[in-house]
């Protein structure tokens, strides 16, 4: 799809609610931009680095775990919706690619009311709410429950120049990375299925042309275990 990435969580929610297949009658909603019409239905929907909205300068004191989870749920709903519009093809999958998710923690509930503010709950209930408001939870264990596979990417040690020459390399290459992929209970994997796979590749940026900063990545080597 040719939609540029949303700038805010509200914009992402709007985009996911507006997108419609062109095959549907009255697919164009009033006020929706032309790009909201999808001519070719995707087989894969990717949510990329949405933790950016919950970290650094963009993080707000009102952010809680459910705000992140809501965006993931909308992505899952959109993927299911697209799958329902396709006949005779496999389901549309959702991939969440987020480099900061492994370290992201958010509170479960909003901060408790300040001391002296009116509250209708008992003192004990108010104390419990306050305790929860100051506690943060890691998001990854929660988000992983909604996906069949969970992976992490690590940068591998760089090969020595002699090793690179033996591999037949005549130009400098980018870093070598390794993806560790494990199944979750949601995948329904068989008992004899490996719990974790790993894939390794080398990014060959010299093939991209004369860019000062590479704008894409070409995978030139892939090993699966």
Cα 43-47-51 angle, rounded to 5 deg: 170
Q: Tens digit of pLDDT per residue, the chain (225 long)?
A: 445 567 889 988 988 888 888 777 666 666 666 777 888 888 899 998 999 999 988 888 889 999 999 999 999 999 999 888 877 677 899 999 998 998 999 998 876 555 554 545 455 555 455 555 568 899 999 999 999 889 888 888 776 665 555 555 555 567 788 888 888 887 665 545 557 788 888 776 655 454 444 444 444 554 555
Predicted confidence at residue 85, as pLDDT, reads 84
CB of 76 closer than 8 Å to CB of 46: no
CB of 37 closer than 8 Å to CB of 96: no
pTM flag (> 0.85): no
Predicted confidence at residue 140, as pLDDT, reads 92
Q: Which of 64, 45, 179 is nearest to 110 (CA)?
A: 64
**80-87 long-range CB contacts below 8 Å, 24 or more apart?**
82/21, 82/38, 82/41, 82/42, 82/45, 85/21, 85/23, 85/24, 85/41, 86/41
Predicted confidence at residue 2, as pLDDT, reads 46
CB of 206 closer than 8 Å to CB of 216: no
Predicted confidence at residue 6, as pLDDT, reads 73
Q: Encoding tokens for residue 117?
A: 């503010």
CB of 76 closer than 8 Å to CB of 146: yes
């Amino acid at each position: 799809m040719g939609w540029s990435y949303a700038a805010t969580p509200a914009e992402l929610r709007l985009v996911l609610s507006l997108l419609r297949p062109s095959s549907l009658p009255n697919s164009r909603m009033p006020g929706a931009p032309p790009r909201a019409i999808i001519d070719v239905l995707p087989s894969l929907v990717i949510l990329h680095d949405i933790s950016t909205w919950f970290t650094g300068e963009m993080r707000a004191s009102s952010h809680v775990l459910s705000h992140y989870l809501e965006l993931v749920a909308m992505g899952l709903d959109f993927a299911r919706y697209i799958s329902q519009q396709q006949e005779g093809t496999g389901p549309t999958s959702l991939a969440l690619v987020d480099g900061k998710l492994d370290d992201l923690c958010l509170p479960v509930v909003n901060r408790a009311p300040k001391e002296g503010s009116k509250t209708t709950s008992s003192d004990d209930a108010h104390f419990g709410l306050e305790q929860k408001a100051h506690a943060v939870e890691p998001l990854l264990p929660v988000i992983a429950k909604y996906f069949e596979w969970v992976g992490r990417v690590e940068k591998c040690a760089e090969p020595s120049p002699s090793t690179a020459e033996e591999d037949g390399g005549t130009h400098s290459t980018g870093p070598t990375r390794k993806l560790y992929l494990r199944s979750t209970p949601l995948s329904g994997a068989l008992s004899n299925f490996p719990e974790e796979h790993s894939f390794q590749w080398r990014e060959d940026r010299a093939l991209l042309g004369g860019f000062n900063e590479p704008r894409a990545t070409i995978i030139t080597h892939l090993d699966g275990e």
